[in-house]
Amino acid sequence: MLRLSIEYRFNSTLIISILKPLWDSRPHPDIRACLIMILLQFIHNNESIVWSILEEAAHDDYYPVILALFGANAKGICRPSRGLKESSTSLIQLFVKRIQMKILDHPTSLSGRIWAWSLLDSEYCDINLLIDKARKLCIQFDKDANVLWKQAFTKIVSFYKQQK
């Protein structure tokens, strides 16, 4: 079924008839990760159903679902989906802002937040917002912030190196 979903990814009725009901049934986490990869193929349609599922996925507790939102596999190697690669720069920026940046503030998954800092593409994000999030980590005194500020600092430094 998932293979057919990818094959017919240009048929947007597939979202309403199959993908949304399947997502709502809270299937096995591996199926949710596959669904995210499929939904990224539909991102250029800019349908609210796709965005609502992706926003839910940004708070998923299963780490492969979070990685799928970055087009990454379990080893953190990014392979951006065709849907994102074929999208306009403004749509990719919107995706980074609405979905990927939310993972930086994931309520329960420290590993998801760590991966978000390392996989976030600084080319498409609001660097001022990113710096503000990093600054807040530097003044937060808990175990999570102790781990995350290093990732945040690395991301900010890499952004400025790219600028030169």
Domain extents in the chain: 2-163
Please check the confidence at residue 57 and state whether its pLDDT lies above 90: yes
Average pLDDT over residues 25-50: 87
Q: Which of 22-26, 124-128, 141-145 has the highest mean pLDDT?
A: 22-26
3-state secondary structure the chain: CHHHHHHCCCCCHHHHHHHHHHHHCCCCHHHHHHHHHHHHHHHHHCCHHHHHHHHHHCCCCCHHHHHHCCCECCCCCECCCHHHHCCCHHHHHHHHHHHHHHHCCCCCCHHHHHHHHHHCCCCCCCHHHHHHHHHHHHCCCCHHHHHHHHHHHHHHHHHHHHHC
Average pLDDT over residues 89-106: 91
Would you state the pLDDT for residue 124? 87
Please check the confidence at residue 70 and state whether its pLDDT lies above 60: yes
- In terms of pLDDT, which residue wins out, 104 or 13? 104
- In terms of pLDDT, which residue wins out, 58 or 12? 58
Average pLDDT over residues 47-70: 91
Average pLDDT over residues 33-48: 84
Average pLDDT over residues 103-132: 87
